[in-house]
A and B are shown apart, each in its own frame.
Chain A
């Protein structure tokens, strides 16, 4: 795809564990700048774990993740602060602060990290809320919003600092098709207007193929396919085909283990 030198994010043989359970196996890929990179996979395939490594919420071993050519395992606290100021993150739940209004939520990073005056911040907040379709909701508390609205407000907050890199976890889940399409268009516009690099974790096929410049398909912690949407679409890998064609899991696949577990149930 792209070399390590030109890519904004490079991942090399990344492995990840929860306790003793390994959840990611030798993940390697590159994310070129100014593109929308979609990470796809079924539930439990390790997408969110990979996402957490990329945003620095899960420690990474040496020489596994490089951001703009720098090994993040060697970053000091000040490097992380700089990185976090240059990214925007939308979490799966929206992660809004319940004690603040939407306006306060979106304004928070601007108030903390910039010298901007309150009227400029107010205008910026209104703009961001308008972009995500929440104009007029600025004085609402998160508890007064639906799940989809919370997610959109979370996106507005992620965009507050006009980040260079935007990480979005499941943007369309829980949204109606019209709003989801609106968010897809917004992500494309953000890439065009600001030259943003957007990393999207999703399992919504339609949305992924609409917005993605590059794609990564994961299953059980491993990469099944990586490349342009066309190359992924033409993949011969059976699990990729099954995922793309939305075929249900074949019965009998783990039948032996299932039967063994049934036999080991103790009778009372």
Chain B
């Protein structure tokens, strides 16, 4: 009885802590949005974060975009040629990229590269009392640290997704047309005829949602690194960084399904 009682108490405590955590996370987002209108000005810091999240992710986005398009070209050509429909290769590659793979893979790549770094940076600021110092200087840490990253994320994710899509389509062209011999005119015509504004719109909606999710989770995990454990050590930062990447990645995939099911 005593053991089962303890178990219920522990379970209740765990459940409560999770609900409180979700509430805190919601408030964190509200503070970050509210911080957009608070001083100090965010132009310079936003530009710095655009450079960090956007420009410095360009190589990895181009690289993964090219190979994703190439593999789609290869697989698509192999599958479509079985039905004599190689002419649909352009449509298959572009629709897969624009609607699904572009936003998802871009978000996963940026999460791995920039999300983890953002979380670690803010986590270190937390354990070194820099966030407390900001507060004691009457500078809202949400406004100063989090809001510019949100703006930068919202600007960079759709742009990176667009770059990923374009490079992916050229990657598919390189393999499908130049290497395997599909008709180049049919490839571009397929894209022209099949890709509509709805597809592009869906891709951008996804990119924006993934941007908010990635920045929200990464900054939140860093901001509260070590706060609950009270230890404020290096281990808390590493745990927060791992959590940020895992939770962001899972959320991206779940959100992808939800958005697709709503918009289809």
- Which A residues have a C-beta under 8 Å from some C-beta of B? 18-19, 55-57, 80-82, 84-85, 87, 89, 91-93, 95-98, 108-109, 111-113, 154, 157
Contacts and interface: CB of A to CB of B under 8 A. Distances in A.
20 contacts: A18-B230, A55-B136, A56-B135, A57-B132, A80-B138, A81-B138, A84-B135, A84-B136, A87-B136, A91-B129, A91-B133, A95-B132, A95-B133, A96-B130, A97-B130, A98-B128, A112-B137, A112-B138, A112-B139, A157-B133
A95 B130 contact: yes
Given A95-B128, A95-B129, A97-B130, A113 B138 contact: yes
A84 B230 contact: no
Contact of A92 (B40, B125, B129, B137): B129
B196 interface: no
Nearest to B144: A112
A57 B138 CA distance: 12
Contacts of A93: 128-129
Nearest to A19: B230
A268 to B, nearest CB: 25
Contacts of B135: 56-57, 84
Contacts of B40: 111-112
Interface residues of B, number: 15
A95 to B, nearest CB: 4
Contacts of B230: 18-19
Interface of B: 39-40, 124-125, 128-130, 132-133, 135-139, 230
Contacts of B132: 57, 91, 95
Given A112-B138, A157-B137, 14 more contacts: A19-B230, A57-B132, A81-B138, A89-B136, A89-B137, A91-B133, A93-B129, A95-B129, A95-B132, A96-B130, A109-B137, A109-B138, A113-B138, A154-B133
Contacts of A92: 129
- Most chain B beta-carbon contacts within 10 A, residue among A92, A109, A157: A109
Contacts of B129: 91-93, 95
CB-based closest 9 A-B pairs:
A84-B138, A95-B133, A89-B136, A95-B129, A85-B138, A91-B129, A109-B137, A112-B40, A81-B138
- Most chain A beta-carbon contacts within 10 A, residue among B132, B133, B135: B133
B138 A89 contact: no
Contacts of A113: 138
A258 B128 CA distance: 34
A93 B130 CA distance: 9
Nearest to B230: A18
A57 B40 CA distance: 21
Contact of B133 (A19, A56, A85, A89): A89
A32 B125 CA distance: 34
Contacts of A85: 138
Contacts of A18: 230
A73 B38 CA distance: 24
Contacts of A55: 136
A84 B137 contact: yes
B239 to A, nearest CB: 19
B130 A109 contact: no
B249 to A, nearest CB: 27
Nearest to B130: A95
Contacts of B128: 93, 95, 98
Contacts of A56: 135-136
A85 B230 CA distance: 27
A98 B127 CA distance: 13
A89 B132 CA distance: 10
A17 to B, nearest CB: 12
Contacts of A108: 137, 139
Contacts of B124: 98
Contacts of A96: 130
